[in-house]
Each structure stands twice: as structure tokens, then as C-alpha cells.
Structure 1
Amino acid sequence: MNQEFSAAYWQQRYQQGQTGWDVGGITAPLREYFDQLQNKALRILIPGCGHAYEAEYLHNLGFTQVYVADLAEAPLQQFASRVPGFPKAHLLQADFFSLEGQYDLVVEQTFFCALPPDLRPNYARKCAELLYPGGKLMGLLFDTAFSSPGPPFGGDREEYRAYFSPYFDFLHFETAYNSIPPRQGRELFILLQKQAAE
């Protein structure tokens, strides 16, 4: 793990309220995707979960196998206080790259853009590792460049294709039509399916 963006770095950001990526709730692209899922027993992982509004939403819909992971303790503690019925064993304070187990769905929401860009190929490979055959990676990626040093770190769809295409089939990979206003036209909604083993 890059020491510059260690657990202590993120813990301090949360403690000081330096969380400009946090929009205070689940965003429409993710909500609309979750609303059409039928199987409430899907094993779902939300890495770099922050305040985990997505997990709260899924929990309230009756999904029972939702797991959240973050390097920092502070957002997990806040989430546990806010959603007391969420299983404590599903709160994982851990480095994403050390996670084990397999899931049906990995949810991406502002985690990828927080990673140093040199870790992006490892992120794509790890997502594939953590998914069952046929499992899906769903979420949002920034399709824009940022003028200030990251995080967040920007990028574009061709760069992202290179990372994910060795492991995933692209079911949806287009500009999100329902982003929040500040991100309108600057986000890709992705739905990628883990390729079957050769």
C-alpha cells in the first residue's frame, strides 16, 4: 500500500471532515441499478466504502450479504452507529488488496479514483479475483482530468478499457445519464462481467 495514502492518511481526512467526494447519500446511477436486483442473497462487496450510503440502502432493501471495506476506522464506526442493524462482521477494516473471499457483485463508488494510478492494473485484477465466475463489477468511474493533484485522480475510458479488458466482458461502459449535477457528463457507468475461465 502506498504510504502516502495509508490508513492514517484517510483516517485524518475523515476526522477533519475533508471528504469532498461525499455527497451525503447514494447517487442515482447506483440506486437505480440496485432497485432492479431481485436476489437479496447476493454477496456484495463495497470497497473503499467511506460512509457507505450504498450499503445502508441495500441493507434497508433487505439484502443480507453486503460487506463493506475501508482502510480507515472512522467511517466504519460512523456507519455502525448510523445503521445499528448492519452485521458487525460485515464491516471490514482492511486494505482492499489483502481481502479474501468471493462475491457476486463488487460496487465501485469513488474508490478507484482515490487509489494512486499505478495501482489501477492491480485493482482490476483484484476485483476479478474477488468475484465468482460470472460475477459483476458495477459502479462509476470519473471520465475527466482534474487540474489539482489527487486524490481524486482522473482518467478516461480508453485507459480504463486497458485495465479491465483482460478480466472482464463489458456489458455497459457509457457516460452516466443520471449523475449528480457537478459530475454530469464526467462519469462512466460501468457494468463489467468476469470472464469465464479459458
Structure 2
Amino acid sequence: MTLNKAYWENRYLTNETGWDVGTITTPLKAYIDQLEDKTLKILIPGAGNGYEIDYLLEKGFSNVFVIDLAEAPLKNIRKRNPDLPKENLIQKDFFELEDSFDLIIEQTFFCALNTELRKNYASKTHSLLKPKGKIFGLLFNFPLTEVGPPFGGSKEEYQNLFSELFIIKTLETAYNSIKPRSEKELFFIFLPK
């Protein structure tokens, strides 16, 4: 299976988006609610329908960017947020992005990548963060299998993968996951070393 632009575009066009819960999830909402600096430059990679951007805009954050390979979800975000500047919706391969951000929000992108790209993801997110930036979000906590996406993983795997480039501030079972994901998500906050 090739997880390329055509694959993802087809998933959106055929509504095969089982990961899409139609709103921001509770753990991300709770963390965003604690953020005070509305000027933060924020990236949501592999954003999909990007309900996180809706919530951020509603809370007064305006320097928010989403990137996705597929055009369909970006069009959906545009419909919901017609005043969002075009340059904030990036249709491109995440690994080709050159920029810097204060905050990166991880929500179902990492688990959708071919597993051989995980080390590249760690390096790329590290390179995109400003020195005092951070990445936070959710990683799935269920056995890694060949079947996916989504592809699972474990706390130990994530510690090994990210600890070379990041200070692991938080990596724990999310206490406030939505019901279908209860006990299957790890909430994390990583700071670049």
C-alpha cells in the first residue's frame, strides 16, 4: 500500500475517514485552553479536516497553519473558515516544509505515516520547531501491526524514537480521551533539545 497523495485524496472523497471524530478531541482542547499567548505560530501537520484549527481560531489564535497532502480536507477547512489566509492552508508533503513554529500539534498524523518514516518525523518536527518551541498531542498506544493506517505503537517505542532530539516532558495515558480511544492514547509534550 502506497500512502501517497492519491491514496489520501481517495480516502477523503470516499469518506473513509474513521479517525475523523468531527470535532477537536478533549485532550487537545484541554491543552489549548491553557495557552495564553495568542501570537504563537502553530502548525497542524497532516491536519485532515483540521477541527483543531477551528477551535484555535475561535479562541483567538490567528497564526495557525495546516499542512496536508490531500486537497479535499483543506477545502473543507476553507469552507468552515473563509477568512483564513490562503497561505495558512498548505497542500504539500510535510517533509518538504521549510519554516519554523512555536508549537506543533500532533493529532493522528504520526500514526498515519508509513512506520519507516517515524524517525524522519521526529527529525522534521525537531527542525521545524523554534528553540523554545514544543510539540504536543496524542500518539496511539496499541500494538504496532502491519495493518493500518492507523499504525500503533508503545510508550517505550516513542521514548526511544524521540528522546535523542527532544526532552520528554510528558508521555502518559490520556485521562480524558474520547470514549472509543480510552486507554489507547498517550498525551505528550516534547521540547527540542
TM-score by length of 2: 0.97
Shift of 1:163: 1.1
SS at structure 2 position matched to 1:84: coil
Match of 2:33 among 26, 32, 35: 35
2:36 and 2:30 map into 1 onto residues whose CA distance is 13
Partner of 2:170: 172
Task: Determine helix, strand or coil for the equivalent of 2:159.
Answer: helix
Aligned equivalent of 1:64: 62
Residue number in structure 2 paired with 1:143: 141
Per-residue CA deviation, residues 15-36 of structure 1 (Å, 9 max, x unaligned), is 0000000000000100010011
Note the alpha carbon deviations across 1:135-186, whole angstroms, 9 max, x for none: 1010000010266711110010111111110111011110000000111011
The number of residue pairs the alignment matches comes to 193
- Flag structure 2 segments of 5+ consecutive residues without an equivalent: none
Q: Over aligned residues, Cα RMSD in angstroms?
A: 1.2
Greater Cα shift, 118-127 or 148-157: 148-157
2:104 is aligned to 106
- Paired AA for residue 93 in structure 1: Q
Letter in 1 for 2:187: F
2:9 to 8, 11, 18: 11
| Kept after mapping to 1: 8 A contact 2:145/2:152 | no
Hey, what's the Cα distance between the residues in 2 that align with 1:150 and 1:58?
29
What percentage of aligned pairs have identical amino acids?
53
Q: 1:166 to 1:147 in 2, by over 3 A?
A: closer
How far apart in 2 are the matches of 1:85 and 1:191?
30
Aligned residue for 2:22, secondary structure, equals coil
The one-letter code of the counterpart of 1:153 is: F
Which stretch has the larger CA shift, 106-115 or 142-151? 142-151
> Shift of residue 89 of structure 1?
1.1
**Which residue is equivalent to 2:74?**
76
Instruction: Establish whether residue 88 from structure 1 lines up as the match of residue 71 from structure 2.
Output: no
Matched with 1:119 is: 117
Q: CA deviation at 1:85?
A: 1.8
Amino acid at match of 1:179: S
**Given residue 128 of structure 2, which amino acid in structure 1 is its aligned partner?**
L
Amino acid at match of 1:171: K
Gaps of 5+ in 1: none
* Mapped contact 2:145–2:151 kept (Cα < 8 A): no
The Cα offsets for residues 100-158 of structure 1, whole Å up to 9 and x where unpaired, read as 11000010000000001110000001000000002101000001026671111001011
Q: Which moved more, 1:81-90 or 1:70-79?
A: 81-90
Query: Residue by residue, what CA displacement relative to the aligned partner does 1:66-105 show, whole Å, maximum 9, x if unpaired?
Result: 0000000000011101111222110000101000110000
C-alpha distance in 1, partners of 2:171/2:146?
Answer: 26
